[in-house]
């Protein structure tokens, strides 16, 4: 009997930055190279392939923007490319002799293409939701998304979700799919602990704070409030921001003040350098939106990818997250972050001051963070995935 061959489809794949690219890469790294083919989108006109960190990726031309920006303005043109992308993806599945397809969301374009290819070639189909789908769409787009989502759920052998919160939401929406639902959390491939994951009782002066990751509608409202508080006292706090989000765009579109004294936007940082960067700080900041353009369900269920490197950093986490969010409950139950769950700048300032003053509290948080990180340990998560896909273990 021929071994199973997985076609893993995700719009965003390395070397692109972002949560989806990171998650996809961590899963692909844990699978035997000959058992998986990873396909995603690119701005290159012709299909190509490249090796990144030991994983071979295949890229299809589906991304249209201007110097890396304005994707949503070109969305209609992107859909004109869909027949070509579908034909190329079908060809890859045929040549690779794929036996099963795992399609990731937050991109409906590649989710639809993967579903069609799986149906055309009679392949086992699996979905992996990093975000909610139909809940974030309204009008005609919402009706279409709800119709497609029902079909995706019907045809999926397993429906993987990013968090227990999302799992519970889908179980409530589609009770008949409960046996198919499976939580597959983010992963990391580093050792479970490292020699650098220790918490120092001594802090720099001013205290060094760090923020990593994308800033968008999932967190911008809370992030703005956090940054405003830090800007109050540059003599006490210094903030380094490592984000692929464009500084000018963040200032003009979202109204973030990134030019205040003590706040420095340093651009993006390669994933393999994130842990080293975090070692230079005293406290890590984690924000999650209280409100914004996403649906309430989205804010309640998503789990920021950036949480994992923060848990592993050996530095205490200050989290600003609403009380109803799964992220808040997750952190609180494990006592692995100092949490401010009210939209009050003064409460943020007081909590930050308290964390700086209490070395014992910082040390306890770091110990709990490292214990919590074991839940996301890459080899364990990939082993669960392979079992659910029926790929077996070596």
Looking at residue 69, its pLDDT comes to: 62
Query: How confident is the model over 310-328, as a mean pLDDT?
Result: 97
Confidence bin at 70 (pLDDT 50/70/90): low
> Tell me: the pLDDT tens digits for 136-170?
899 999 999 999 999 999 999 999 999 999 999 99
Q: Residue 78 sits in which domain range? A: 6-187+377-389
Q: How far apart are CA 38 and CA 56, in angstroms?
A: 7
Q: What is the CATH number of the domain that holds 90?
A: 3.40.50.2000
* Same domain? 218 vs 365: yes
CB 244 within 8 A of CB 277: no
Q: Does residue 200 form part of some domain?
A: no
Please report whether residue 347 resides in a domain.
Answer: yes
Residue 35: predicted pLDDT? 94
Give the pLDDT of residue 270.
87
Domain count, the chain: 2
Strand-by-strand arrangement of the 317-320 sheet: 263-265, 237-242, 207-212, 283-287, 317-320, 338-340
Question: pTM of the prediction?
Answer: 0.89
Question: Considering the domain boundaries, does residue 202 fall inside one?
Answer: no
List, as one string, the DSSP characters of 76-139.
HHHHHTHHHHHHHHHHHHHHHT--EEEEEES-HHHHHHHHHHHHHTT-EEEEEESS-SGGG--H
Residue 172 falls within a domain, yes or no?
A: yes
In a domain, 196, yes or no: no
User: Based on the domain organization, do 182 and 216 belong to the same domain?
Assistant: no
Residue 197 in domain: no
Tell whether 137 and 248 lie within a shared domain: no
351 and 383, same domain (yes or no): no
Q: Is 44 a residue whose pLDDT tops 80?
A: no
> pLDDT tens for residues 117-134?
999 999 999 999 999 999
Tally: H helices and E strands in the chain: 15, 14
**CA–CA dist 119, 307 (Å, integer):** 36
> What's the Rg (C-alpha) of the chain?
21
């Amino acid at each position: 009997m021929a071994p199973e061959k997985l076609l893993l489809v995700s719009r965003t794949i390395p070397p692109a930055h972002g949560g989806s690219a990171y998650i996809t890469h961590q899963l692909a790294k844990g699978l035997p190279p000959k058992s998986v083919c990873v396909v995603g989108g690119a701005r290159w006109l012709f299909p190509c392939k490249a090796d990144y960190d030991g994983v071979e990726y295949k890229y299809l031309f589906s991304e249209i923007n201007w110097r890396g920006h304005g994707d949503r303005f070109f969305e209609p043109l992107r859909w004109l490319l869909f027949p070509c992308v579908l034909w190329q993806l079908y060809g890859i599945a045929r040549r690779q002799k794929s036996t099963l397809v795992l399609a990731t969301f937050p991109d409906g374009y590649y989710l639809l293409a993967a579903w069609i290819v799986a149906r055309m070639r009679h392949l086992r189909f699996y979905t992996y939701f990093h975000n909610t789908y139909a809940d974030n769409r309204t009008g005609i787009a919402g009706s279409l998304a709800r119709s497609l989502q029902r079909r995706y759920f019907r045809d999926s052998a397993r429906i993987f979700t990013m968090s227990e919160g999302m799992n519970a939401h889908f179980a409530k929406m589609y009770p008949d799919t409960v046996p198919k639902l499976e939580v597959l959390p983010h992963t990391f491939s580093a050792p479970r602990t490292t020699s650098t994951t220790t918490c120092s009782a001594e802090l720099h002066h001013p205290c060094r704070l760090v923020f990593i990751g994308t800033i968008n509608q999932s967190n911008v409202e809370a992030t703005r409030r956090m940054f405003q508080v830090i800007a109050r006292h540059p003599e006490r706090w210094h903030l380094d921001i490592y984000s692929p989000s464009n500084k000018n765009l963040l200032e003009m579109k979202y109204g973030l003040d990134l030019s205040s004294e003590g706040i420095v936007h340093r651009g993006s940082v390669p994933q393999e350098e994130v842990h080293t960067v975090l070692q230079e700080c005293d406290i890590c900041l984690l924000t999650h939106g209280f409100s914004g353009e996403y649906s309430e369900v989205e804010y309640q269920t998503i789990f920021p990818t950036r949480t994992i490197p923060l848990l592993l950093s050996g530095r205490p986490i200050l989290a600003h997250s609403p009380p109803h969010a799964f992220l808040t409950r997750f952190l609180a139950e494990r006592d692995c972050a100092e949490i401010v769950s009210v939209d009050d700048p003064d409460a943020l300032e007081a909590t930050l001051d308290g964390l700086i003053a209490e070395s014992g509290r910082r040390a306890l948080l770091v110990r709990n963070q490292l214990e919590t990180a074991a839940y996301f340990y890459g080899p364990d998560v990939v082993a669960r995935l392979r079992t659910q896909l029926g790929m077996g273990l070596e």
